[in-house]
C-alpha cells in the first residue's frame, strides 16, 4: 500500500500581532531609554506617587526602583521585537501596563500628580495624555497577550538567544546605573550646559503667561441665597455697591488659559538671614563654582569624600584666579555650618528650595560652573575634573 505524505499547513502570518509587537516594542524601548537617561529625575516622580499613597518609606529607594523600571521597559521591548521568551514577556508587559494605567488614571482623575514622567523631562505629558497613551498600549498588549503562543524567536539557536538576552539585560540596567553616577547623557533640564539662567527666569517679550480668573462666593444677607461670580462680573455689575451681598470665605483662583511656562519660575537664593542673593549669584561676571546639595545630611561617606576633593580643587584654583565659590543647599544653616567647619570648606553658603536644586544637577553633591549667568559646564561629584584639566579648559587665559 502506498503511503501518502501530508505537508503540514503553513501558519498564516498574524499581521495584527506583528504590528502590535513592533509598536509596543519600540515605544517601550524609547520610553525606557528616555527615563534611563535620567533615573534620578524619574525617582523624584516616583516619590510624588509614594507621597500620594502614603508610602514615603520607599523614598530612599526611589532611584533604585527607577533604574529597575526603566531597565525592565527596555528589556521587555527588545525581547518582544526579537521574539525571545514570548510568553514571559507578554505577562511582564501586561503587568507593567496595568500598573502604569492605574497610576496615570489615578493621577489624572484625582489631580494628584501633574506629570507622570512617562517620557521624563524630554516630552512632558499631562496626566490625561499619559492615561490615553497607556490605554492604547493596553489594547496593543492585550493583543500580544492573546496571541503570545504565536510569538517565535528570530534566532532559533538557544545559546545565541540566551547570550543576546544577557547582553540586553546588562546594557539596559547599566545605562541607568551609569547616568545615576555620571549625570544624564542628554540634559533636558533648564539648567543644562549653555543655558543662561537669568533669561529663563522671566517672561520673554511677546509671550503671555497663564491667565486666571478669580471666583467669589457670595451670600445674600437677607434671603440667604448663595452664588459664585467671577471677578469680571463682580466688577462689571458693581456687586460691591449692593449691601445685600457679601463675600463668603476666600476667593478661588481658576486657570482659564494656559500661557507660556517660564522654564525657571521658582529659583530664589538667600543668605542665612533670608536676604535675596539670587541675581548676585547667577549674574556674577566671573567664573562661579556652585556646589549644589539638596540635602547635606543625605551624603554618605563616598559623597563626603568627593566633596572634600572638590573643595581642595576649587581652593587650589582660587589661589591663582578670580572666581567665586558657593555652596547652595536646602539643608538647615546648622547642618551647613557644621559641615563647613568640619571640612574646612572654602564655599560661601547660600540657601534655596529643594525643587530648583533637584533640577540644577542630578547629583548630591553636584557642581555647576557659571559665568554671567550662563551654565559653562556641570559635573557629578564622581567626575569633577582635576585642577590641571580645569585650568587648561577654562582658566589659562586669565593668567
pLDDT given for residue 380 in this prediction:
97
Rounded distance between C-alpha atoms, residue 311 and residue 288, angstroms: 13
Find the largest Cα–Cα distance for the chain: 111
Burial of 52 (0-12, 13-18, 19+ CB in 10 A): middle
**In the structure grid, which three cell numbers stand for residue 396, read together?**
589659562
pLDDT given for residue 1 in this prediction:
47
Rounded distance between C-alpha atoms, residue 347 and residue 338, angstroms: 13
Strand partners for 227:
218
Rounded distance between C-alpha atoms, residue 165 and residue 81, angstroms: 12
pLDDT given for residue 4 in this prediction:
53
Structural domains of the chain, with CATH: 13-180 (no CATH), 210-255 (no CATH), 267-393 (3.40.30.10)
pLDDT given for residue 87 in this prediction:
94
Rounded distance between C-alpha atoms, residue 199 and residue 283, angstroms: 10
- C-alpha distances (whole Å) from 294 to each of 14, 262, 329 are 52, 22, 5
Going residue by residue through the chain (399 aa), what tens digit of pLDDT does each one get?
A: 455 555 555 568 899 999 999 999 999 999 999 999 999 999 998 998 888 888 999 999 999 999 999 999 999 999 999 999 999 999 999 999 999 899 888 888 877 776 666 666 667 778 888 889 899 999 999 999 999 999 999 998 999 999 999 999 999 999 999 999 999 999 999 999 999 999 999 988 888 888 888 999 999 988 989 999 998 888 898 888 888 899 998 888 888 888 888 999 999 999 999 999 999 999 999 999 999 999 999 999 999 999 999 999 999 999 989 899 999 999 999 999 999 999 999 999 999 999 999 999 999 999 999 999 999 999 999 999 999 999 999 987 655
Rounded distance between C-alpha atoms, residue 125 and residue 120, angstroms: 9
In the chain, beta strands by DSSP E: 211-220, 226-230, 245-247, 252-257, 287-293, 323-329, 348-351, 366-371, 374-380
Amino acid at each position: 500500500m502506498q503511503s501518502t505524505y501530508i505537508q503540514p499547513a503553513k501558519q498564516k502570518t498574524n499581521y495584527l500581532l506583528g504590528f502590535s509587537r513592533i509598536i509596543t516594542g519600540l515605544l517601550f524601548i524609547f520610553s525606557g531609554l528616555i527615563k534611563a537617561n535620567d533615573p534620578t529625575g524619574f525617582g523624584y516622580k516616583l516619590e510624588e506617587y509614594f507621597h500620594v499613597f502614603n508610602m514615603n518609606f520607599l523614598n530612599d529607594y526611589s532611584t533604585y526602583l527607577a533604574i529597575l523600571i526603566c531597565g525592565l521597559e527596555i528589556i521587555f521591548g527588545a525581547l518582544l521585537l526579537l521574539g525571545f521568551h514570548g510568553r514571559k514577556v507578554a505577562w511582564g508587559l501586561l503587568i507593567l501596563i496595568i500598573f502604569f494605567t492605574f497610576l496615570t488614571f489615578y493621577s489624572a482623575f484625582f489631580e494628584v500628580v501633574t506629570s507622570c514622567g512617562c517620557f521624563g523631562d524630554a516630552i512632558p505629558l499631562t496626566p490625561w495624555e499619559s492615561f490615553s497613551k497607556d490605554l492604547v498600549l493596553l489594547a496593543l498588549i492585550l493583543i500580544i497577550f492573546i496571541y503570545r503562543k504565536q510569538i517565535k524567536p528570530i534566532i532559533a539557536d538557544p545559546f545565541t538567544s540566551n547570550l543576546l538576552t544577557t547582553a540586553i539585560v546588562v546594557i539596559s540596567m547599566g545605562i541607568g546605573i551609569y547616568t545615576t553616577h555620571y549625570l544624564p547623557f542628554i540634559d533636558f533640564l533648564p539648567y543644562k550646559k549653555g543655558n543662561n539662567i537669568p533669561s529663563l527666569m522671566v517672561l520673554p517679550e511677546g509671550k503671555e503667561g497663564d491667565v486666571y480668573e478669580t471666583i467669589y462666593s457670595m451670600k445674600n444677607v437677607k434671603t440667604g441665597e448663595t452664588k459664585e461670580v467671577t471677578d469680571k462680573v463682580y466688577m462689571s455689575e458693581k456687586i460691591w455697591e449692593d449691601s445685600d451681598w457679601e463675600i463668603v470665605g476666600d476667593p478661588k483662583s481658576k486657570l482659564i488659559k494656559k500661557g507660556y511656562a517660564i522654564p525657571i519660575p521658582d529659583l530664589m537664593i538667600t543668605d542665612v538671614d533670608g536676604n535675596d542673593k539670587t541675581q548676585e549669584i547667577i549674574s556674577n561676571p566671573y567664573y562661579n563654582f556652585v556646589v549644589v546639595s539638596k540635602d547635606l545630611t543625605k551624603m554618605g561617606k563616598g559623597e563626603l569624600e568627593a566633596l572634600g576633593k572638590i573643595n581642595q580643587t576649587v581652593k587650589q584654583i582660587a589661589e591663582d584666579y578670580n572666581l567665586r565659590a558657593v555652596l547652595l543647599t536646602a539643608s538647615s544653616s546648622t547642618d551647613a555650618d557644621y559641615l563647613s567647619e568640619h571640612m574646612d570648606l572654602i564655599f560661601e553658603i547660600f540657601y534655596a528650595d529643594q525643587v530648583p536644586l533637584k533640577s540644577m544637577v542630578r547629583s548630591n553633591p553636584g557642581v555647576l560652573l557659571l559665568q554671567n549667568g550662563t551654565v559653562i559646564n556641570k559635573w557629578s561629584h564622581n567626575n569633577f575634573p582635576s585642577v590641571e584639566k580645569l585650568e587648561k579648559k577654562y582658566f589659562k587665559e586669565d593668567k
